[in-house]
Amino acid sequence: MYNAKYIIPGIIFFLALIFVPVAYNMGKNFEVKPELPKDQKDCIEDAQTMRDKHMQILNEWRNEAVRDGNRIYVNAKGQKFVKSLTNTCMSCHADKAKFCDRCHDTVGVAPYCWDCHNLTPNQTSPIPLAATSEAGGH
């Protein structure tokens, strides 16, 4: 092999560089315990579904509410909810920093939900539903 004295160490260095993050995070537990609402026992779906699929649910809500005008979500138990991040989800999970940010920061994601659904710095709970329905918002 031509230039083997350079190629083999280069390959070893490259492989070591690739596996450093894997080795660094091996054995670490990334399970995060967000602060759950004290007065609510049930969410729109069961806890495991919400852990696994909350972004898919929110994306479906956005598409169905904005594009199709369908603003009512019916869960597996037949209960109905308004499709609204701000007024449905944030009515129970009012402190974004203790619930949403705690998980998203741990796993290193920056969802774009807050580009539109932004709570002001002094606001810990969402806009009241009556105020949004009068203004035609969500």
pLDDT tens-digit profile of 37-75? 878 778 999 988 998 899 999 999 999 999 999 999 999
Place 131 in a pLDDT band, splitting at 50, 70 and 90. Answer: very low
Task: Tell me the whole-structure pTM to 2 decimals.
Answer: 0.63
The CA distance from 124 to 58, in Å, is: 20
Assess contact for 49 and 94: CB atoms under 8 A: no
Name residues whose C-beta falls within 8 Å of residue 104's C-beta, 6 or more positions apart in sequence.
Answer: 110, 111
Assess contact for 80 and 72: CB atoms under 8 A: yes
Strands 80-82 and 72-74: antiparallel
Tokens standing for residue 101: 């940010």
Residue at token pair 């994601």: 109
